[in-house]
């Protein structure tokens, strides 16, 4: 389980106006909530948050949030971003409680080079890139590995084939396809247009000398 630290400051002003004022000061509005606490409005240092997000997987990293009255272990549940600019608008933190299981989406990492790719020229297609699991916060893995080395051409692996760590329970359909080795893709050749017999070439029409004279003005 990966753990990172971040400092947060409680705030009393809420609403769009207060949020715009915070962002003008390079601070990001946030909130922390949980089953055993009332939702609390916070603000974060924008530069510190950017540095943190550049080096962690936000969905699976436990963030030790330092507050004025102590600290809380949290998970980032939502990051709201500006639709056009590279700007974070708001962050939601969920407080984690020991023994209280949570639902998270874990990335699936394919390990190895399939036999069907090495020996038969197949193409490995990853259909599913993350899996939803139920897990204790103290045991959140960074990702789920799936060994594809023995996968042959036209064979696939499914959610049921994932090797889940102890204490991790999958929530997705176990028959869902994670990856498949497909036959090699053959580039389609452009159709050859053949000459059709029986179609005469267009006739070139030339004017006779008499016709040419009709179009001339008298000299």
**CA nearest to 79, candidates 89, 69, 64, 94:** 89
Structure tokens at 211: 């016709």
Domains of the chain and any CATH numbers: 3-95 (2.40.240.10), 102-182 (2.170.120.20)
- Residue 57: per-residue pLDDT: 87
- Residue 95: per-residue pLDDT: 92
What does DSSP say about strands 156-158 and 102-111: parallel, antiparallel, or unpaired?
unpaired
Contact call for residues 159 and 168 (beta carbons, < 8 A): no
Q: CA 15, CA 121: separation in Å to the nearest integer? A: 57
Model's pTM, two decimal places? 0.71
pLDDT tens for the chain, 219 residues long, are 678 999 999 988 888 888 888 888 899 999 999 877 788 999 999 999 999 999 988 888 999 999 888 888 999 999 999 888 888 999 999 999 877 899 999 999 999 999 999 999 999 999 999 999 999 888 888 899 999 999 999 999 999 999 998 889 999 999 999 999 999 876 555 565 555 555 555 555 455 444 444 444 444
Q: CA 63, CA 37: separation in Å to the nearest integer? A: 17
- Residue 187: per-residue pLDDT: 55
**CA nearest to 165, candidates 205, 134, 125:** 134
- Residue 183: per-residue pLDDT: 92
- Residue 34: per-residue pLDDT: 87
Q: CA 140, CA 193: separation in Å to the nearest integer? A: 61
CA atoms within 13 A of residue 18's CA, in its CB half-sphere: 11
């Amino acid at each position: 389980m990966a753990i990172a630290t971040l400092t947060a400051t409680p705030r009393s002003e809420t609403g769009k106006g207060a949020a715009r004022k915070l962002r003008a000061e390079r601070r990001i509005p946030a909130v922390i909530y949980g089953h055993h606490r009332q939702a609390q409005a916070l603000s974060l240092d924008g530069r510190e948050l950017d540095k943190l997000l550049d080096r962690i997987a936000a969905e699976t990293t436990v963030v030790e949030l330092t507050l004025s009255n102590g600290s809380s272990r949290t998970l980032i549940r939502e990051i709201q971003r500006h639709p056009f600019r590279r700007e974070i608008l708001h962050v939601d933190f969920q407080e984690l409680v020991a023994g209280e299981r949570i639902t998270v989406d874990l990335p699936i990492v394919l390990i190895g080079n399939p036999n069907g790719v090495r020996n038969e020229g197949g193409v490995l297609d990853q259909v599913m890139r993350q899996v939803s699991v139920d897990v204790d916060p103290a045991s959140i893995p960074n990702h789920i590995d799936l060994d594809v080395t023995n996968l042959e051409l036209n064979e696939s692996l499914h959610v049921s084939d994932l090797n889940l760590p102890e204490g991790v329970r999958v929530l997705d359909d176990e028959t869902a396809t994670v990856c498949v080795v497909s036959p090699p893709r053959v580039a389609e050749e452009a159709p050859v247009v053949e000459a059709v017999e029986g179609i005469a070439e267009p006739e070139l029409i030339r004017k006779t000398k008499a016709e040419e004279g009709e179009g001339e003005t008298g000299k």
